[in-house]
Structure 1
């Protein structure tokens, strides 16, 4: 500043420069010398996700919507329930120790299909696709009306197509809607309730259909991309994508459960539709979802292509599926059970009981045997045994390897026909009524027993809630029939078997327990103290 209060020449020049710069910035944008002082905008160079457009355009003409008609009477269709396809069995009918029930109890959820579930006991994924169903008091005849809507896909150019059994099971008439909107009548060739598969045939000799083939799902890995195409909520030609989330899922729908789990969006109406790999081959058939709302939450289950391929081939040939039948009630071999029986590995299938008159019983298979191989092929678990035996077909002679009394044995078995024999051989068993008399305490096991009223085995009259027996599900009122495959009639008998097991170097004993007409095995620790 000057002495007279006026700005100095230096100040005037500085102020003029700033004002001029501001004027330039406002009128012409940021000068190059100023812009160079700012950082570059963020830009990421990364691999781009693959497009599914080529796969979709190739396979879409082979995917159809399936409309089913029957004489059912309309009822309310509430989409708010938990959804699961259990082949006709509800979530609330699963055993209390089923992994899905334990999951819900641990995390505080409601049991799907239970009395408190929203929307009531709707149990199957796309049974709600069927919407209208016959009412309990409706005995009047009516005209056919739409009752189901699902998906399907052609597997031959002459019009054979695959869908789910639960989509078509109650139908009397079937209509297939092609990707271009053309509607064609179809007939039911055959269906299989155990795998929830069905085969339809379109009669249209004047045209050839675009069709797809089954993939080798053994090569499908968790994490692989998949594309689902179907008819969710009646919106035909819908495409969703995701990955394979898991393999070998057992959701309690039947003895052949071996589902592929995917996280592609699958909803009501997708049932029977295909899940493709990026080569345009079918790796699975969508059959169930797990959802608290009735809609997609990223957990869907598909029947593996390998299972579908065999079943569909049988349906196309004979209109039905015949399976080999061994006729034994089985359960998995846990590590505890393996230790109690002297097995090195927890594999194979433990025979709980052979059915009366079954091929297994006739061949000499006994309660407590562990089936370790069939025709020299090792058996991983109980589900593996069921699938392998079924695959042989009826009237097939097989060699069954057993672990019995600490030794390996082989028995020849002529398999029966599951479709025709199982109902006659599976006679119901009456539950045993326990009647306590003089209690005998087995302190080391945490249980108290008394002779059973029928003179066979021992009734459990008390279980220490802090014991290993309680932790493994042993309950008051159940009956102990045998220990390490030795029949027991008193607490002393149990003590003798346990003492011998300790001498043999075993740390657990295998208890056969009966309750409500069913039998199971429980391995309990027998260490001293």
Structure 2
């Protein structure tokens, strides 16, 4: 039986074409992936390992602690034969001997004459700092200055054999989200480890670090990478790897670097005066939520909402008030509240700037002179008092405050304390027992009875805003008044 020759079907031809296309494209895609080897060769020698040691405080020798009680009034004589035995096995007064504490980190050389940049926390309270170069030479370092707020420290070493290798400084403003970046450091003490990733976000604000607009990346950063450089593809340092977000203590895909322009500003101040000064407005701020934006008549949430104006500060002198929304500072838009502190901090002390605000739904511009950031004040905790009035409409029980409480909390002659929170709009908005309510819809609250009158007059179905103080922190909360 004769059979007809078999020809490839259309489906077979299509599959073959797709396979050939894949094979043809694959090498091109592989060629497009970055090669960091030349960058590491050129910049790696300027990256250093930093070890610091903090010596324990010296203490007077103590008698060994016995594993039993002596009769009252009886003491062991000096130099007894068993004293050394007891000391060796039971310790001094039952305590383990103190050992020097050590810290390991990374850094990089920014000048041929020996200036080295690292993190503040790498050399915090160090009695001895050693910088180890790529060729394994070790140089003792002196601390020129350190700034805890930006986590930047400047060291100085003396070169042994001429000029030291240095890094190139880049411009973080030109860095793009999604761009490749590379880190070199000493994670867990493994010198000159190289990891790479992309820029995940810029201008990221972190708790307790409001004056640094961090660069967020997915570059693998672990303990020991702190203080090391973050490079762009041009081999320029754009940031200093500072911290990670982790629930385990190890890398979880979120790492943060201090922009190099922020660090270099700190360097210049440390070289000049040994300390860092920052601009200060004298306001406490928070984000504008969707509900708060509605209460202010704003089309969308944006800006920094002023929760408190510090007495005698620049903002107070310029006439800013709690409830103002800062929309622009010195010509720059403020989209999130976290945008404001870094811009104020980088403003020269004494400079007069324009601040665009929204007050009672109307825009206005004020001028103020930026002052130096002062030391932080200690927080205070107060005890709630028995209830004297209630505002059942919001689910709140509030009380008057004593004159001493007003003085201690610096509340002036206003404010009522929340004694209890029941089911209702206030609980949904996050009001807590112990909060001090200072105003309702920007109307100052003097006492519990006045608070009740204001609450009863709120229009049903509308969003109201409460200015509360929780500990030392003022906070705007938005709630919808029940119908």
What TM-score, normalized by structure 2, do the two folds share? 0.77
Provide the residue aligned with 1:440 in structure 2.
391
What residue in structure 1 maps to residue 55 of structure 2?
71
Cα distance in 1 between the residues matched to 2:364 and 2:437: 27
Relative to structure 1, the CA distance from residue 471 to residue 440 in structure 2 (aligned partners, 3 Å threshold; closer, same or farther) is closer
Q: 2:192 matched to which residue of 1?
A: 237
Q: Report Cα offsets for 1:130-171 as digits up to 9, x if no partner.
A: xxxxxxx999998xx561111001112222111000001111
CA contact (8 A) 1:354 1:360 kept: yes
Equivalent residue for 1:269, pick from 221, 224, 231: 224
Preserved CA contact (<8 Å) 2:171 2:238 = yes
Cα displacement (A) at 1:56: 0.8
- Which of 413, 416, 421 aligns to 1:463? It is 421
Q: Is the Cα–Cα contact under 8 Å of residues 391 and 455 in structure 2 kept in the other structure? A: no
Deviation digits for residues 142-201 of structure 1 (CA, Å, limit 9, x no counterpart): 8xx561111001112222111000001111222111111111122111111001011111
Quote the Cα distance in structure 1 between the aligned partners of 2:125 and 2:418.
46
CA distance in 1, matches of 2:112, 2:57: 36
1:60 has 2:44 as partner? yes
Structure 1 or 2: larger strand share? 2
- 3-state DSSP class of the match of 1:194? coil
| SS of alignment partner, residue 401 of structure 1 | strand
Structure 1 unmatched runs, 5+: 1-38, 75-136
Deviations 1:372-399 (A, max 9, x none): 2222322223222111111112222222
1:494 pairs with 2:446: no
The aligned length equals 412
State the SS of the aligned residue for 1:58.
helix
Contact 2:212 2:262 in 1 (8 A): no
Q: In the aligned structure 1, how far is the partner of 2:303 from the partner of 2:383?
A: 29
| Alpha-carbon shift at residue 334 of structure 1 (Å) | 1.7
Deviation at 1:431, TM superposition (A): 3.1
1:202 aligns with 2:157: yes
Contact 1:432 1:515 in 2 (8 A): no
Q: 2:169 touches 2:237 (CA, 8 Å); kept in 1?
A: yes
- Offset of residue 65 of structure 1: 0.5
Name the SS for the 1:388 alignment partner: helix
CA 1:50–1:492: 2 relative to 1, 3 Å: same
- TM-score normalised to structure 1 length: 0.71
Which moved further from structure 2: 65-74 or 51-60? 65-74
Matches of 1:253 and 1:44 in 2, distance apart? 51
Query: 2:124 is matched with which residue: 159, 169, 183?
Result: 169
Which string of whole-angstrom CA distances, capped at 9 and with x for unpartnered residues, describes residues 238-284 of structure 1? 11122223333333132124222222221111100011111111122
For the pair 1:337 / 2:295, whether they are aligned, the reply is no
For residues 414 and 250 of structure 2, the distance between their equivalents in structure 1, rounded to whole angstroms, comes to 51
SS of the residue corresponding to residue 346 of structure 2 reads helix
8 Å Cα contact 2:203/2:339 also seen in 1: no
SS of residue matched to 1:439: strand
2:244 maps to what in 1? 289
Whether 1:388 aligns to 2:339 is no
Q: Whole-Å Cα distance in 2 between the matches of residues 403 and 139 of structure 1?
A: 61
Cα distance, 1:486 vs structure 2: 0.5
Change over 3 Å in CA distance of 1:427–1:259 after alignment to 2: closer
The change in CA–CA distance for 1:297 and 1:305 in structure 2 (over 3 A counts) is same
Gaps of 5+ in 2: 1-15, 59-93, 403-412
Structure number with greater Rg is: 1
Which residue of 168, 182, 189 maps to 1:213? 168
Q: Distance in 1 between matches of 2:398 and 2:354?
A: 41
Q: CA deviation at 1:207?
A: 1.2
CA-to-aligned-CA distance 1:175-231 (integer Å, 9 cap, x gap):
111111111122111111001011111122751122112322233233222211011
Contact 1:249 1:260 in 2 (8 A): yes
**Cα contact 1:191–1:198 (8 A) shared by 2:** yes
The separation in 2 between residues aligned to 1:301 and 1:438, in whole angstroms, is 49
Using the TM superposition, give the Cα deviation of residue 57 of structure 1 relative to its aligned residue in structure 2, in angstroms.
0.6
CA distance in 1, matches of 2:129, 2:214: 27
Deviations 1:304-324 (A, max 9, x none): 223223222322333221111
